[in-house]
């Protein structure tokens, strides 16, 4: 192992933690995506091969994305953490608050790739250059144990998803090197792709239709906004996971630099931001959110959608986000 690998992926430190604890609680973030669940389940599938270890994987959200049910171990994801003295491994989560579990006083290994990560762990393995948290987990765990097929499928699916099927600016030689290694270990690219692209829920298409009805262009057509109201969500029969990816339609337009999608939920308005070049994580941070430079988001409590959009557009101008591009 070269020194670079040693600093980025502190395998020895991880081994020490794993030796000290008999039980491990794997935590994934609220409103889970394929990266947090794929990373968590990949690690779960690795750790559970040790018969002396107690391992649990937890996501506290009401709904899990059903299309991810092909990930080995998906049915084992629990809604509550039961272990009290376990070591915690958090996956793909920039802030402790997004875990939805009180981690005060606990030993946490934080595995992530968000630039905005708050480094809330005792051991923080945060690699912003990595395209997915699963890429970080793979590079870390491959040094200390054999990666089995179940884990390879999970890590590959997470990488496939967080790179938007290998199309984002984070895709480079290293991403393909990791993808190749995971395929060699048993991940089937066609099966993973099928699960992501050919198993849509009807509700996800119905809610997309509503969002497209509310597509508007602003600021010389450099910003596209889309939204869905509570009523839209109700009539489409959509759940939050059904709305993942809608924001990409806004960004995909030729003239558009920043795409914005807002959904009106019971407790406020949730906003997703996507950009081609501009750093939208700055914008998200102003509103108490976070994320990556080209994919970020935030939630505003008790807000109206039209006012929210006006405020966001104002901030885009104020920050000069479009001037950078």
Query: Between residues 98 and 218, which has the closer beta carbon with respect to Mn ion?
Result: 98
Q: What angle do CA 143, 95, 50 make, to 5 degrees?
A: 35
Q: How far is the CB of 317 from Mn ion (least distance, A)?
A: 29
Residues at the interface with Mn ion (CB under 5 A): 35, 92, 133, 162
Least Å distance between CB 85 and Mn ion?
Answer: 28
Q: How far is CA 44 from the centre of its chain?
A: 17
Describe the chain by its helix, strand, coil percentages, rounded to 5. Answer: 40, 20, 40
- Minimum distance of Mn ion from residue 245's CB (angstroms): 14
127 contact partners, CB below 8 Å, separation of at least 6: 8, 9, 112, 113, 135, 136, 139
In the complex, least distance from residue 142 CB atom to Mn ion, rounded to whole angstroms: 19
Q: How far is the CB of 303 from Mn ion (least distance, A)?
A: 26
Beta-bridge mates of residue 240:
none
At 264 the three-state DSSP class reads: strand
Report in angstroms how near the CB of residue 82 gets to Mn ion at its nearest: 26
Interatomic CA distance for residues 321 and 277, integer angstroms:
9
**Comparison of 92 and 242: residue with beta carbon closer to Mn ion:** 92
DSSP letter string, 211-240: HHHT-EEETTTTEEEEEE-HHHHHHHT--G
Core vs surface per residue 1-22: b (16+ CB within 10 A) or e: eeeeeeeebbbeebeebbeebe
Please identify, using beta-carbon distances, which residue of 164 and 206 lies nearer to Mn ion.
Answer: 164
Q: Which residues pair with residue 111 across a beta bridge?
A: 91, 125
- What's the closest the beta carbon of residue 120 comes to Mn ion, in angstroms? 16
Between 159 and 223, name the residue whose CB sits nearer to Mn ion.
159
Find the helix or strand (DSSP H, E) in which 25 lies.
Answer: strand 23-28
Cβ-closest residue to Mn ion? Answer: 35
- CB nearer to Mn ion: give 153 or 233: 153
Nearest to Mn ion of 35, 232 (CB atom): 35
The residue assigned the tokens 């491994």 is 89
Cβ closer to Mn ion: 222 or 292? 292
């Amino acid at each position: 192992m070269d020194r670079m690998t040693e600093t980025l992926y502190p395998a020895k430190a991880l081994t020490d933690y794993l030796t000290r604890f008999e039980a491990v609680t794997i935590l994934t973030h609220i409103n889970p995506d394929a990266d947090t669940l794929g990373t968590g389940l990949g690690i779960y599938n690795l750790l559970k091969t040790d018969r002396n270890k107690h391992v649990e994987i937890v996501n506290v959200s009401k709904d899990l994305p059903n299309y991810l049910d092909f990930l080995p171990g998906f049915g084992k994801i629990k809604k509550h953490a039961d272990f009290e003295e376990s070591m915690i491994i958090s996956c793909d989560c920039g802030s402790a608050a997004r875990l939805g579990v009180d981690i005060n006083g606990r030993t946490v290994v934080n595995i992530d790739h968000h630039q905005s990560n708050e480094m809330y762990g005792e051991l923080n393995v945060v690699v912003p250059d990595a395209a997915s948290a699963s890429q970080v987990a793979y590079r870390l765990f491959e040094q200390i144990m054999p990666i089995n097929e179940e884990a390879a499928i999970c890590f590959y699916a997470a990488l496939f998803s967080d790179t938007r099927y290998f199309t984002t600016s984070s895709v480079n030689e290293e991403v393909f090197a990791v993808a190749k290694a995971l395929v060699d270990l048993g991940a089937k690219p066609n099966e993973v792709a099928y699960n992501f692209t050919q198993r849509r829920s009807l509700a996800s298409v119905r809610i997309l239709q509503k969002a497209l009805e509310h597509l508007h262009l602003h600021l010389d057509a450099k910003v596209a906004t889309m939204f869905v109201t509570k009523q839209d969500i109700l009539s489409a029969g959509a759940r939050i996971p059904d709305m993942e990816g809608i924001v990409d339609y806004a960004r995909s337009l030729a003239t558009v630099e920043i795409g914005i999608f807002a959904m009106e939920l019971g407790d406020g308005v949730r906003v997703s931001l996507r950009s081609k070049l501009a750093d939208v994580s700055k914008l998200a941070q102003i509103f108490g959110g976070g994320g990556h430079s080209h994919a970020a988001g935030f939630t505003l409590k008790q807000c109206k959608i039209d006012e929210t959009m006006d405020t966001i557009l104002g901030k885009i101008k104020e920050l000069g986000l479009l001037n950078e591009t």
